[in-house]
Amino acid sequence: MPDAAKSLAWDDFRVIKAIAEARALPAAAASLGIDHSTVFRRLNQIERVLGLRLFDRIRTGYAVTAAGEEVVGLALRMDEEITALTRRIAGRAPDPSGELRVTTNDSLLIHLLTPLLAVFRRRYPRIRLDIVIGNRALDLSRRDSDIAIRATDRPPETLVGRRIARIAWALYGRAQDFPDPGPVEAARLADRDWVALGDALGAIAAVRHAREQVAPERLACRIDTVLGLAEAVEAGLGIGHLPCFVGDLRPGLRRLGPTIEAFATDLWLLTHPDLRHAARIRAFLEVMGAELTRCRPLLEGRTAADDMAVEAAPA
């Protein structure tokens, strides 16, 4: 086994350690910031290289085998030594500095991130931010950006990061059209015009709902950004589904019903594995992770009236 272990990379030992500590693949994947299926494949590859079964698959999860105890122990010792070395180096490192390129979308930047970026800059004034706005698929491997803050249920397996919260969606209308507080009965919405996101954002569940459930003659306008959609609803073009962190912050909008679980998406803070140990990257992930976590009630739609329960699926 010692000779075989030499062919393993440190990242392989990280996978072994994560599974041993979590005793389940989903939890191990979450701690590593990668997909469950990736952890499963990596474990199978590692066991093939070693010629050993490291874990028994039991009803309650994954248990370390007798043969695997030595490998798991080595993984734990390596992690302790690397952590200690990293701390010593970090203690000697100068304050983080340089340029940091962050990609996100317009609605996240305007309704959520801008004041948080100001907090980060006050903490790290020597780091210059370059914000790139766009809705295209993530490709940090091309180094177009250093950090991505995105709403997605399927972050690329090539990236690492942290899931911050679930972004809740609900139906909104212009406040002056719906002056009474509380949910609005479906009958009052039957004759209303709708606005919706365009097909370019067809991966979003709310887009599919508008395409499949709203009569074509009732669809007054399609817009290819969430920010534009919010403006259209507030202008009275029609009712429409919006993320709660957008709709709940606008006095000119009224939430017309409960949050819709089927529309919810994850918010991720992501970077490329090769960059995650850079001082400026670590600083950004630490500060923004903490600040975004404080925003969970807003992101999850828990700031509106308490009498609006979560809806399991759109009508």
pLDDT score for 207:
76
Instruction: Tell me: pLDDT of 140 over 60.
Output: no
65 and 149, same domain (yes or no): no
Residue partners of 28: CB distance under 8 A and separation at least 6: 15, 18, 19, 21, 22, 39
Instruction: Tell me: pLDDT of 304 over 60.
Output: no
Q: Are strands 98-104 and 127-133 parallel, antiparallel or unpaired?
A: parallel
171 and 291, same domain (yes or no): yes
156 and 116, same domain (yes or no): yes
Domain end marker among 92, 116, 145: 92
258 and 147, same domain (yes or no): yes
Give the CATH number of the domain where residue 55 resides: 1.10.10.10
82 and 148, same domain (yes or no): no
Q: Are strands 265-271 and 169-174 parallel, antiparallel or unpaired?
A: unpaired
pLDDT in tens, 266-302: 999 999 888 888 889 999 999 999 999 999 999 999 8
44 and 116, same domain (yes or no): no
What letter would DSSP give residue 203?
Answer: T
Per the structure, the complete domain to which residue 59 belongs is given by 2-92
Residue with token string 């085998």: 65
pLDDT in tens, 13-24: 999 999 999 999
Structural domains counted in the chain: 2
- If pLDDT is split at 50, 70 and 90, which confidence band does 194 have? confident
From CA 205, how far away is CA 266, in angstroms rounded? 13
- If pLDDT is split at 50, 70 and 90, which confidence band does 306 have? very low
SS3 sequence, 36-101? HHHHHHHHHHHHHHHCCCCEEEECCEEEECCCHHHHHHHHHHHHHHHHHHHHHHHHHCCCCCEEEE
287 and 201, same domain (yes or no): yes
Higher-confidence residue of 222 and 93: namely 222
From CA 55, how far away is CA 74, in angstroms rounded? 15
pLDDT score for 276:
83
pLDDT in tens, 88-112: 664 455 678 889 999 999 999 999 9
Give the CATH number of the domain where residue 136 resides: 3.40.190.290
Average pLDDT over residues 66-75: 91
pLDDT score for 313:
41
Average pLDDT over residues 147-162: 89
- If pLDDT is split at 50, 70 and 90, which confidence band does 307 have? very low
Continuous segment of H or E residues that includes residue 296: helix 296-299
pLDDT score for 141:
52
Instruction: Tell me: pLDDT of 248 over 80.
Output: yes
From CA 281, how far away is CA 93, in angstroms rounded? 14
Backbone angles phi, psi at 314, to 5 degrees: -65, 150
Residue with token string 């009965």: 185
